[in-house]
Structure 1
Amino acid sequence: MAAPEFDFVIVGAGFGGIGAAIELRRLGYDNFVILDREDDLGGTWHVNHYPGLAVDVPTTTYSYSFEPNPNWSRLYTPGPEIKRYAADVADKYDVRDHMRFNTVVTGARWDDETNTWQVALESGDPLSTRFLITATGFLSQPRMPDIPGITSFEGRVLHTTDWDDDYDAAGERVAVIGTGATAVQLIPELARRAADLTVYQRTPIWVVPKIDVRFGALARRLFARVPATQRAVRAVTDGLYEFLVYVGVLRYDSVGRLNGAARLLAGAHRFASIRDRNLRRKLTPDYEFGCKRPTFSNSYYRTFTRPHVHLQADGIDRVEADGIVNADGTKTVLDTLVLATGFDLWEANFPAIEVIGRDGRDLGKWWRDTRFQAYQGVTVPRFPNFLSLASPYAFLGLNFFNTMDYQMRHMDRLFGELKRRGATTFEVTEKANARYLDQMTELLGDSLFTVGDCASARSYYYNPAGEATLLRPMTTRAALREASTYPVTDYEFA
């Protein structure tokens, strides 16, 4: 029997794939390849480069815990710096040479006879590997709006995930469809240049003030020379976010409804920014704070008070060659249409590629026929030697890097046990997976997503069946503890 070409194939060269590769190097594995459909690393921070792009959590928190970056320019760092951080980490830990770009993975199938994964590529022969890790991220499949006539528009169409860096909105009539987290960053930037800007809103979003600070040269030198200072700042930002998620989301029913304070803050911010009562009403969500990812901005609300910026909250009837016909029968003539319509998480991203496990089990079909589920947000029964880093119940709180930290610990325990036993395959048991699903269901029962008023939020936290199965409903500390101490008997080794 021929040996597999690789020990590991990792799909995705974003922060998830980079983190997985670093962990593999720590564990002594070197025969792995990272495949990515884009032409460079960075995942969503490579694909997205629209004006105003920045992190929406403090960058003291938004980084690998083992690799703090003393060079951030400010607390909410612009996107290009995040991309540069990804490149620096990949170079430092010597994983860039394992990457193959412009390589589209179309699917993977487990071969019971050879105990390998056969990974199909859009071009070229399939690759064989002992282990498969999908690190395709949660925000990797752009959503296109299903609006009558959308393909008939003859002007320029830009999706925020495919931005044209040479585009200049100066003097143009522009429309933005969408008011999610991306739009909150982009709209103020477009308003500075466009002659006329119309924003089409389906669901208002909660926006609170952004307390941003610049890290001067002195602070950066201090972070570099005394790393403990940066770790202390991270401890503060981590602790604050952890507290907000715990009391505002995870223990919404039993701890107390402190979300009201956040609603008041957002309301005061809106009132201070907008004097027009009717405009404030249109921009006020009717769902609970936290049902949808809240955003931070000091300029979003004020942008709508400018005379050339218009909020259209009554809906779209259709798109025509020269503009948008609104639900009230009026027409907005346009030069450029900007689609800030977010990402398709559930239909196109779970999983992002076709994955066929033992006995022909199709992962996507199984999730939809039963329930979305994954043991500790990482592994699935009947899928040997497979880890999915973008799975149901995987995303932890508001910070992807906390997710990556616990997943790396899970890998460390799992592959350490695999080596100790001299085994070649692992598979999580049906019993362990069912127990974990019951645990997640129970924890969600006390959360904002189950008890709170989220019906009108249209949040990507919810799957098509109405279950909030994206987030792992526990604290970072609890997730790290679970990842370090779960019973190894939850897996079968052979």
Structure 2
Amino acid sequence: MTTLRSEIVVVGAGISGIASVIKLKEAGFADVVVLERGDDVGGCWSTQKYPGLTIDVPSMYYSYSWAQKPDWSSAWTPGPEMHEYCRNVVEQFGVRDKFRFGVQVTGSTYDEKRNEWVTETADGTRYVSRYLLNASGVLSELKWPEIEGMKDFQGTLLHTSAWDENLDFTGKRVAIIGTGATGIQLAPEIAPQAGQLDVYQRTPIWLLPKPAFKLKPRTQKAFATVPGLLRAARFGIAFLMDIVFFQSFVNYPTMGPLTRLAEKVGRRHINRQVDDPEVARKLTPDYDWGCKRPSFSQNFYPMFNRSNVELVTDSIERFTPTGIVTADGVEHETDIVICATGYQPFSGRSLPTYPVRGRGGQDLRDYWENNRYQAFQGVTVHGYPNFFLIFGPYNNISGSYIAGVELSVRNMVTALKGARKKRANYIEVDAAAQRREFEEIIAKQPKSIFQAGNCTGSNTYYIDAHGDTPLMRPSNHLKEWIAARRGDLSPYHIRSVADATSKKRTLSRR
């Protein structure tokens, strides 16, 4: 068995892993290795390749604040361009050599005697490190529908996150299961090619208009050359996304009028674009806007005006070798079934995607199962020394996932720099500090749309098995940004620990 040593091991090379290794390098931590099971950086932007894929947050805000791009092709970046952005950032900051691809992490255990993390991989290699950073993300484990007879289906069956670019839909009978953020992008791309397209909807989604806003060359040039213009544009988008959009989720009593306005716009959007009143009715949600992840589209609703597209709202009973049987007893013959059913955020398999065993050998996933999802600042958990989460429970404080990632990375780097300053090698959040913060978060949850609004029947993944909403922190970006810059380390136990087999080791500047 091969054993490799480094000061810091990062698991995951997506948005979180890229930000982590760059900011660690800037802080003087050079002995870092990033383990990635895929073959490139970018996380889900590397693996997802389905037609129509775009981000659904404005490009200038769905990017690192410290690596802005003035020449986005569109306000809504296509998936391949987002992947290329991730690759370019890695090259720009000179960290490509830190990544190890094709490495499947199978588990990591804290060695209390040595004060080290031992991370094991599928090929038998052990990575021993002082610190472990989980950057595997919340969109890592695919969610397949649990339907009787799926294995009996003799046609083509695939998940959107494992896309086959050689698929030919010409004249085929195609079924798409799911009308969430993925399904609404993919279906309109397939409809003109397919002989018949059946769109299976369990729960309708609120969609707002999404104008095709391309960035013209003169606009790109202005962003690149006019001092402060790009930053000002980004700030304006951030204000709308954070202060208006995000607060509608976590502060419903105050922002309720905004959600009702969004619902009004959404209903008008449906009724203007769908010819058949009955189809329009089926596409209209009966829960509050924001309970289920809302999205934007300009071409999803008009697709249902095509003669070869059918909206199927009867639940799926089972698969047959040649198709799908719905609750009304009808068998829909199908050649290709596409599951646009997303991921499993905050489930036993997704955060983290491998066992993390802390002090006493307790698996972090078991800890959360018994104690609900909690982590101080969304970054550290008592009982798991020298372990950090990038985008853990209650970390998201913004309309942009990347803003939450940057916050996590800043808090993590602050703790590591604090330990280095003290010549220490042990960092653990105080149990009482973690408990107080969690209690404060839970006390604010009744103000969220998920408790104060009408979310019955939304089937939202925002609510976990405990009835909590760990994807959203009931706070605001500005408040958390100020707290992160303050860098208060008083909630942490930071000290030097001598292992049982060698002299006391200290954290050194690399």
Q: TM-score range by the shorter chain?
A: over 0.9
| CA deviation after TM superposition for structure 1 residue 395, in Å | 2.3
Q: 1:392-411 alignment to 2 at 5 Å?
A: 392-411=393-412
Which stretch shifts more, 10-19 or 355-364? Answer: 355-364
Which stretch shifts more, 468-477 or 154-163? Answer: 468-477
CA deviation digits over 1:412-444, x for unaligned, max 9? 321221112111110001011001101211222
2:503 aligns to what?
A: none
Is residue 44 from structure 1 mapped to residue 39 from structure 2 by the alignment? no
| Contact 1:378 1:407 (C-alpha < 8 Å) held by counterparts | yes
Q: 1:54-65 alignment to 2 at 5 Å?
A: 54-65=54-65
| CA deviation after TM superposition for structure 1 residue 486, in Å | 5.1
Runs of 5+ consecutive residues of structure 2 not aligned to the other structure: 496-510
| CA deviation after TM superposition for structure 1 residue 257, in Å | 3.2
> CA–CA distance in 1 between the matches of 2:13 and 2:455?
34
Runs of 5+ consecutive residues of structure 1 not aligned to the other structure: none
> CA–CA distance in 1 between the matches of 2:245 and 2:105?
35
SS at match of 1:110: strand
Q: Which amino acid in the other structure matches residue 407 of structure 2?
A: Y
| Contact 1:41 1:86 (C-alpha < 8 Å) held by counterparts | yes
| CA deviation after TM superposition for structure 1 residue 71, in Å | 1.9
| Contact 2:250 2:473 (C-alpha < 8 Å) held by counterparts | no
SS at match of 2:10: strand
SS at match of 1:257: helix
Q: Which amino acid in the other structure matches residue 457 of structure 1?
A: S
SS at match of 1:5: strand
> CA–CA distance in 2 between the matches of 1:278 and 1:295?
22
> CA–CA distance in 2 between the matches of 1:315 and 1:274?
22
Q: Which amino acid in the other structure matches residue 163 of structure 1?
A: W
1:355 aligns to what?
A: 356
1:215 aligns to what?
A: 215
> CA–CA distance in 2 between the matches of 1:260 and 1:386?
42
> CA–CA distance in 1 between the matches of 2:227 and 2:264?
37
Go from structure 1 to structure 2 and tell me whether the alpha carbon gap of 1:4 and 1:186 turns closer, same or farther (over 3 Å shift). closer
SS at match of 1:493: strand
| Contact 1:248 1:257 (C-alpha < 8 Å) held by counterparts | no
Go from structure 1 to structure 2 and tell me whether the alpha carbon gap of 1:470 and 1:477 turns closer, same or farther (over 3 Å shift). same
2:100 aligns to what?
A: 100
Q: 1:224-239 alignment to 2 at 5 Å?
A: 224-239=224-239
2:478 aligns to what?
A: 477
> CA–CA distance in 2 between the matches of 1:412 and 1:31?
14
> CA–CA distance in 1 between the matches of 2:399 and 2:256?
20
2:446 aligns to what?
A: 445
> CA–CA distance in 1 between the matches of 2:486 and 2:393?
21
> CA–CA distance in 2 between the matches of 1:350 and 1:16?
13
2:281 aligns to what?
A: 281
SS at match of 1:403: helix
TM-score between both structures, scaled by the size of structure 2 = 0.94
Which stretch shifts more, 390-399 or 69-78? Answer: 390-399
> CA–CA distance in 2 between the matches of 1:80 and 1:256?
36
| Contact 2:4 2:125 (C-alpha < 8 Å) held by counterparts | no
> CA–CA distance in 1 between the matches of 2:9 and 2:247?
39
CA deviation digits over 1:312-348, x for unaligned, max 9? 1011111011100111011111110001011112131
| CA deviation after TM superposition for structure 1 residue 4, in Å | 7.6
Q: Which amino acid in the other structure matches residue 6 of structure 1?
A: S
| CA deviation after TM superposition for structure 1 residue 290, in Å | 0.4
| CA deviation after TM superposition for structure 1 residue 277, in Å | 1.6
1:29 aligns to what?
A: 29
SS at match of 1:151: helix
CA deviation digits over 1:155-212, x for unaligned, max 9? 1112100001111211110000011100010010011211100011111100110033
SS at match of 2:228: helix
> CA–CA distance in 1 between the matches of 2:191 and 2:244?
32
> CA–CA distance in 1 between the matches of 2:406 and 2:268?
36
| Contact 1:184 1:297 (C-alpha < 8 Å) held by counterparts | yes
> CA–CA distance in 2 between the matches of 1:403 and 1:60?
15
SS at match of 2:490: helix
| Contact 2:49 2:163 (C-alpha < 8 Å) held by counterparts | yes
| Contact 2:389 2:408 (C-alpha < 8 Å) held by counterparts | no
2:508 aligns to what?
A: none
| CA deviation after TM superposition for structure 1 residue 226, in Å | 2.4
Go from structure 1 to structure 2 and tell me whether the alpha carbon gap of 1:412 and 1:180 turns closer, same or farther (over 3 Å shift). same
Go from structure 1 to structure 2 and tell me whether the alpha carbon gap of 1:256 and 1:153 turns closer, same or farther (over 3 Å shift). closer
CA deviation digits over 1:89-148, x for unaligned, max 9? 001111111111110001100001111000010112211000000101111110111000
2:125 aligns to what?
A: 125
> CA–CA distance in 2 between the matches of 1:51 and 1:344?
22
> CA–CA distance in 2 between the matches of 1:41 and 1:63?
15
CA deviation digits over 1:331-375, x for unaligned, max 9? 111110001011112131122110000122210001001111010
Q: Aligned residues: percent identity?
A: 37
Q: State the superposition RMSD in angstroms.
A: 1.4
Which stretch shifts more, 321-330 or 437-446? Answer: 437-446
| Contact 1:10 1:17 (C-alpha < 8 Å) held by counterparts | yes
CA deviation digits over 1:244-275, x for unaligned, max 9? 23542222114543210000000000010013
Q: 1:228-377 alignment to 2 at 5 Å?
A: 228-345=228-345, 346-377=347-378
2:157 aligns to what?
A: 157
1:182 aligns to what?
A: 182
Is residue 457 from structure 1 mapped to residue 458 from structure 2 by the alignment? yes
Q: Which amino acid in the other structure matches residue 484 of structure 1?
A: R
> CA–CA distance in 2 between the matches of 1:264 and 1:143?
31
| Contact 2:391 2:404 (C-alpha < 8 Å) held by counterparts | no
Q: Which amino acid in the other structure matches residue 42 of structure 1?
A: G
> CA–CA distance in 1 between the matches of 2:462 and 2:485?
26
Which stretch shifts more, 25-34 or 219-228? Answer: 219-228
Go from structure 1 to structure 2 and tell me whether the alpha carbon gap of 1:4 and 1:161 turns closer, same or farther (over 3 Å shift). closer
> CA–CA distance in 2 between the matches of 1:251 and 1:131?
36
> CA–CA distance in 2 between the matches of 1:90 and 1:486?
26
> CA–CA distance in 1 between the matches of 2:433 and 2:59?
35
Go from structure 1 to structure 2 and tell me whether the alpha carbon gap of 1:74 and 1:246 turns closer, same or farther (over 3 Å shift). closer
Q: Which amino acid in the other structure matches residue 490 of structure 2?
A: T
1:77 aligns to what?
A: 77
> CA–CA distance in 1 between the matches of 2:287 and 2:67?
38
> CA–CA distance in 2 between the matches of 1:294 and 1:38?
29
Go from structure 1 to structure 2 and tell me whether the alpha carbon gap of 1:434 and 1:201 turns closer, same or farther (over 3 Å shift). same
Which stretch shifts more, 476-485 or 302-311? Answer: 476-485
| Contact 1:53 1:182 (C-alpha < 8 Å) held by counterparts | yes
| Contact 1:136 1:390 (C-alpha < 8 Å) held by counterparts | no
CA deviation digits over 1:37-93, x for unaligned, max 9? 111111010111100000001001110001101121010010011000000000111
